[in-house]
Structure 1
Amino acid sequence: MPRYEFRCRECSTTFEVNRPMSASGDPAPCPTGHNDTVKLLSTVAIAGAGSRSAPRAAAPAGGGCCGGGCCG
């Protein structure tokens, strides 16, 4: 289940809420009882199983439809 991060505008507490994606926009009360909260934008990192041990290869440089190898 996705986790969403919120911040309370009254006390500046940051907290997380687990909820289905269908309820991602629903309001979330602050754990201290305030209702004036805002959902924070989160960055998502998705990595494969070997991403920590094996560095990624650089993307090929060039242009055109064939990477610059055969386009005049």
Structure 2
Amino acid sequence: MPRYDFRCRSCGATFELRRNMAQANDPAVCPEGHADTVKLLSAVAVTGGSGGSAPQQPSGGGCCGGGCCS
């Protein structure tokens, strides 16, 4: 289930809720009971966990790298 971050405009608290995507824009009440909250934009970084090196780009080929332009 996705996690959504919120901030309370009344007390300034930030909190997270797990809810279905269909409920993503539903109002949220902060842990202190205030209803004046706003959903925060979350930036998620996804990285590979294999520990291997990044794949290498192929060399040569193509018009600009293969010498087909004269």
In 2 relative to 1, CA 7–67 (structure 1 residues): closer, same or farther, beyond 3 Å? farther
The structure number with the bigger radius of gyration is 2
TM-score (norm 2): 0.76
- Structure 1 residue runs of 5 or longer lacking an equivalent are 61-65
State the percentage of identical aligned residues. Answer: 52
Residue 16, structure 1, aligned to residue 24, structure 2: no
CA RMSD in angstroms, aligned pairs only:
2.2
TM-score (norm 1): 0.74
Residue 30, structure 1, aligned to residue 30, structure 2: yes
Letter in 1 for 2:52: A
Q: How many residues align?
A: 65
Which whole-Å CA distance do the structure 2 matches of 1:3 and 1:27 have between them? Answer: 14
- Which runs of at least 4 in structure 1 moved beyond 4 Å after TM superposition? 57-60
- Structure 2 residue runs of 5 or longer lacking an equivalent are none
